[in-house]
Structure 1
Amino acid sequence: MNKFLSKLMKDNIKEDLIYWLGIILIIIFFSIIIFYSNRNGLNNIKEKRLYTVGIISGFSRTKTTKSVKYIISYSGKTLEGKSSININKYSIGDRVLVVYNPNTNINILLPYFIDDSIKEPYNGWSKPPMNNITDSEIIKYLEEKY
């Protein structure tokens, strides 16, 4: 009986080890996919970028994440976006800076508010419309964040 329990315990340990190894490999696989997806999006933004106004339209919460929903318009198109940045500093209707690639529709909400006196561009700005932030500072911010 003792030999049977010993063999059974060894088989369970082996099965548990294989199970956890599989889970770890799956997590690594998805982490690599997410990393390269983010890098690809950032490269698209670096390659060709324009800036526009994003209007905060709402918030989304799940058990693990809190997201800001926003709407952007350019060249007659309207897109909705979602960003999981600090939602506590935003209110519905806030105007914030968004960088986007018009060829891929990839857009990223930036943590910079836009004054109401600045008019929304039809085709976007080639540089941020504020005097206190530069294009190179935004690229540096994006590289650190993504």
Structure 2
Amino acid sequence: MKYININNFLPKNENGNTKNEILKWVGIFLIMLFLSAIIYFNNKNALKDIKEKRLYTVGIISGFSKSRSMEFINYIYSYNGKSFEGKAPRDINVFAIGDRALVVYNPNTNIKFLLPYFIDDSIKELYNGWSKPPMSNVTDSDVIKYLEENY
């Protein structure tokens, strides 16, 4: 019986050392897995903070930006008379510059989420934000459901 040498099928690097090549790819995989876990648990903690205490305000879309791997929506929102800037992933692809959108945030932390719900110009922004969404077609439970499904 003839045995097949598996090393003949593995890619060889310049030195012909497949073991180092495999270790390199395993290391890259483990780093990616570790970073994914950090992002996942970070989002879960942020969602927990929003569930504990949340207010709503108006976010005004100010522009779009791009990093090496992602596109972002830039927005401005205010609370207690102070303006803040935020970024959201561009997967919410319904906005144009100048649009008014709902933002949910925790006033005790820097955690905020831009939501894909438009706010009509007739709705005036409160100085301290709203305890519930100001639109009749969006409820607090709709927002929590959206956040749980997307973050």
TM > 0.5 fold call: yes
Distance 2:117 2:36 in 1: 29
Give the TM-score taking structure 1 as reference length: 0.89
Superposition map of 1:38-49 within 5 A = 38-49=43-54
Superposed displacement of residue 63, structure 1: 4.3
Superposition map of 1:58-97 within 5 A = 58-86=63-91, 88-97=93-102
Q: How many aligned positions are there?
A: 139
8 Å Cα contact 1:56-1:70 kept in structure 2: yes
Q: Aligned letter for 1:141?
A: Y
8 Å Cα contact 1:52-1:125 kept in structure 2: yes
| Identity rate, percent | 63
Partner of residue 14, structure 1: 19
The reply on whether 1:131 has 2:125 as its aligned counterpart is no
**Where does structure 2 lack aligned partners over 5 or more consecutive residues?**
1-7
Pick the aligned partner of 2:147 from 137, 142, 146: 142
8 Å Cα contact 1:58-1:69 kept in structure 2: yes
8 Å Cα contact 2:94-2:116 kept in structure 1: no
Measured on the aligned residues, the alpha-carbon RMSD in Å equals 1.8
- The SS at the match of 2:125 is coil
8 Å Cα contact 1:66-1:87 kept in structure 2: no
Partner of residue 35, structure 2: 30
Distance 2:34 2:86 in 1: 26
8 Å Cα contact 2:70-2:90 kept in structure 1: no
Deviating beyond 4 angstroms after TM superposition, the runs of 4 or more aligned structure 1 residues are none
Higher helix share: 1
The reply on whether 1:51 has 2:56 as its aligned counterpart is yes
Distance 1:22 1:88 in 2: 35
CA displacement 1:54-92 (0-9 Å, x = unmatched): 000010123432211000001122110001134642111
8 Å Cα contact 2:88-2:114 kept in structure 1: yes
- The SS at the match of 1:115 is coil
Distance 1:87 1:62 in 2: 16
